[in-house]
Chains A and B, each alone.
Chain A
């Protein structure tokens, strides 16, 4: 795009209701100001998410029951459900931690086979050997549960607890109480990072090798450090940035890293709830929740394919002339040449669809009813793909404006014409509607259409901040792929996800550095993910805790 202008310039003239020159948290400085030095930002204390909790007890105890489903859900926070800054603590959560721990401990001590795995000496212990057995069990288990070496008094404390509850029950049940207690300890539920002095610099601290193993393990595999990482930590093999990157690269290539990518895209794209989407059967007889579920798989598998098996770069992710479908989904889209339930790569009509954004899943997921909403779609693209903050409608407007009925007018453009006619609406809606209009060729179930209610759809629009018009959906994704904001926003989303928090203005330097490296490396996504392990924020802690 030749004559681009930065978004904040374009918006400076439209300031009636607060849609002035703000483009999200990154602000104009992301693109317009001199470079800022990357800073070390302290990671807030993170609590295991439900997914991480389940994986952790699976790996520690062989408990595959996904017990964390009984915990209350995380806050939406940064959109990925792992935002340490927004995780609040409720009585219900504390209560459920206890209930879930009791269930896990009961299962871990219920049968000889279960005991054999967790505490093999318990079954044969005599009264005289109980304490030795308790100590032996804790000596091997507690460092795994706390993800670090433990002090003798930390074992003593639990031996006392075991003895305290021993009366009236079996030895095994007293050991269950010990496990219950461990599973509620902050050292287990939270990822505690105290750090240690950095011999090279006294203005920062470094992570202990065990803390680094924990960071890597939860980032890439969503679970407690596996044996090879624990061994590296023990042997002081996670000290240098090179050591960390090498280990991160190994983990990223492993199949266990795939859920990380799926989790990221389920947070970024409106596909997580596709299995729940319902549309009027009379209007869309070929659509069903099972088709929607396949669309979700399509998008997940496409992202995995591009990143791990395909070209590997973000531009391809946005503009690839292919997708992954199986026979049922191909038939829905009107594609042929594939049979069976397995998904495979298939070319698409690249004058109509390209890349991840125009897949059926995203088009369906950005539609909340039987008719499309250019506002919702445009807002989605601008917020999540361009990181532009759309202000909330001021309450003074709520009484003045009634949203158009969904079946009024011939086309969506007719329905939402007031937005451009009325300057009060236009101030904000010029950020959303012109983007949404370019996607009107996709109906509420992700299918291509040339007409709406007998009228030819005009899919022309505009990517805010850029002067050239956009002629339709493929033009739109090409424009995003060619923009400065697109890759910067993708980087920013990864930063929030990888660091488990909301973007902080102090992250600007880090974001700029990583974004530049992303561009210089041809937008390779794996390199981007690995780059987040090489920042000062990932490798070090600030000297003074906040």
Chain B
């Protein structure tokens, strides 16, 4: 992998501002080789409250279509984009919003009761097990902006849980929230750091985790089955970190450039839904910073899988940069359905998604772009706020990984979104034919490649 490393580093250094992306695209786009084989990266993006359907739906045919007002910011990456229509989230059974977010990546219902989570793993974690876990420094990265607002009171709840452990039932994963901590976790000891000091630091961490590992192992053996399972689950995570350290040791001296640090001292990541002017005003900055870190982590091969979550289903924060003083849920239905304000919010999310995709397109992974080797899913927990319907979900795919073929508006005839999830898995070389709860599966949805 030495042949293109320098080039890749040079490219990445430009990240952190979207302005760099377009000229490169024009110069280099045609020359790139297609990425071949299974997809190498997966990113899922969650946005709350669905969309305004008649302002979202493109017009035209599969290959010749015009993006809608809400999706218009994605024009520059339209050739990598698949707009999907006619997909129904049948497995989203339960509370209107909660069931939607629980099912989005799992294809399982919120069984039985309020307060219950999804019943199975999310596809990002399944993909992570296949391509990332134990292979890369981080099995996956799950980040959220302005998370656990409103009634979740800062707790991990079905109102905000999107990601669920692989090989475990009903085990939600908390997102990373603190941009400073994310930077330190990913890029501390970046270029310029003293190699000897880094090696010592990693060795020290390893010695400590050795001890921790032994304690869990020994104690687990003395406990009953249920408690042992808990310590074993903890030990599994300790070992995942130990493997990550080993990968990091092997790669010492090979780091590529970190994004520039951004001052986020005006952003409080743990304040729930407080209408905190400065924090809400900082959302665009923090969101882009996290996107930069996510893209760089992929470009530097620190991980293969990421989930990026804009707030949660409560969405109880304001949009001061759009001049919107009420929270998102207010415009959805708490204050009556307000499609004009919602359109501006959804279009803003589309702009941020364009930033992510353009940034990925600007990274050269050795003859093809990062976006070309990736599959990027963009979704929400419902179609439109007034009905909370789960039909015709406003889903997008982008990238080129596993042969995903962009530049298309694909209309399905009311297919279950479980079938979309399994087709996404197929892009990563996973040959299964169903994913999530069986009763919602009719086989791969097709037409992605």
Contacts and interface: CB of A to CB of B under 8 A. Distances in A.
A73 B175 CA distance: 9
Main secondary structure of the interface of B (DSSP, over half): loop
Nearest to A179: B208
A94 B171 CA distance: 15
A289 B153 contact: no
Interface residues of B, number: 90
B110 A546 contact: no
Q: Which of A161, A278, A405 has the most C-beta atoms of chain B within 10 angstroms of its own C-beta?
A: A278
A406 B338 CA distance: 12
B241 A88 contact: no
Interface string B231-252: 1011011101100000000000
A44 B337 CA distance: 45
A546 B225 CA distance: 6
Interface in B371-415: 386-391
Interface stretch (B23-31, B75-83, B112-120): B112-120
A88 B172 contact: yes
A165 interface: yes
A520 interface: no
A110 interface: no
B347 interface: no
Nearest to B100: A398
B284 interface: no
Contact of A91 (B155, B237, B327): B237
Interface in B316-342: 316, 326-327, 329-330, 333-337
B20 interface: no
Nearest to B111: A392
A12 B227 CA distance: 39
B274 interface: yes
A405 B274 contact: no
Interface stretch (A187-195, A235-243, A299-307, A418-426): A187-195
B208 A181 contact: yes
Interface string B162-180: 0001001011111110100
A158 B90 CA distance: 54
Interface in A256-315: 270, 272-273, 275-276, 278, 280, 289
A14 interface: no
B66 to A, nearest CB: 29
B135 interface: no
A519 interface: no
B17 to A, nearest CB: 29
B219 A92 contact: no
Interface string A88-119: 11111111101100000000000000000000
Q: Which of A76, A184, A190 has the most C-beta atoms of chain B within 10 angstroms of its own C-beta?
A: A76
A399 B387 CA distance: 7
A170 interface: no
Contacts of A47: 230
A95 B386 contact: no
A164 B207 contact: yes
A87 B230 CA distance: 9
B151 interface: yes
Nearest to B390: A398
Nearest to A158: B211
A333 interface: no
Nearest to B224: A545
A402 B181 contact: no
A392 B335 contact: no
A5 interface: no
A52 interface: no
B327 A278 contact: yes
A407 interface: yes
A232 interface: no
B224 A42 contact: yes
Contacts of A394: 93
A440 to B, nearest CB: 18
Q: Which of B205, B211, B237, B240 has the most C-beta atoms of chain A within 10 angstroms of its own C-beta?
A: B211
Contacts of A44: 226-227, 230
A93 B212 contact: no
Contact of A93 (B174, B178, B386): B174
Interface in A231-259: none
Contacts of A73: 148, 154-156, 174
Contacts of A276: 149-150, 271-275, 316
B216 interface: yes
Q: Which of A168, A181, A273, A369 has the most C-beta atoms of chain B within 10 angstroms of its own C-beta?
A: A273
A45 B174 contact: no
A389 interface: yes
A447 interface: no
A91 B390 CA distance: 32
A460 interface: no
Contact of B226 (A75, A81, A546): A546
Contacts of B226: 42, 44-45, 545-546
Nearest to B138: A91
Given A73-B154, A186-B219, A289-B274, A398 B334 contact: no
B223 A402 contact: no
Contact of B204 (A177, A389, A393, A405): A177
A161 B207 contact: yes
Contacts of B115: 76-77, 79
Contact of A75 (B155, B168, B330): B155
Given A177-B204, A181-B208, A276-B274, A72 B156 contact: yes
Interface of B: 90, 92-96, 99, 109-110, 112-115, 138-139, 142, 148-158, 165, 168, 170-176, 178, 181, 185, 200, 203-205, 207-212, 214-216, 219, 222-227, 230-231, 233-234, 236-238, 240-241, 270-275, 316, 326-327, 329-330, 333-337, 386-391
17 contacts: A75-B156, A76-B155, A88-B171, A90-B237, A91-B173, A95-B241, A99-B185, A164-B207, A169-B204, A177-B204, A184-B209, A270-B151, A393-B95, A395-B92, A402-B386, A402-B387, A405-B336
Given A165-B207, A370-B335, 15 more contacts: A45-B230, A45-B231, A70-B181, A75-B172, A76-B158, A81-B155, A157-B214, A276-B150, A289-B274, A369-B329, A393-B96, A395-B93, A398-B388, A406-B333, A406-B335
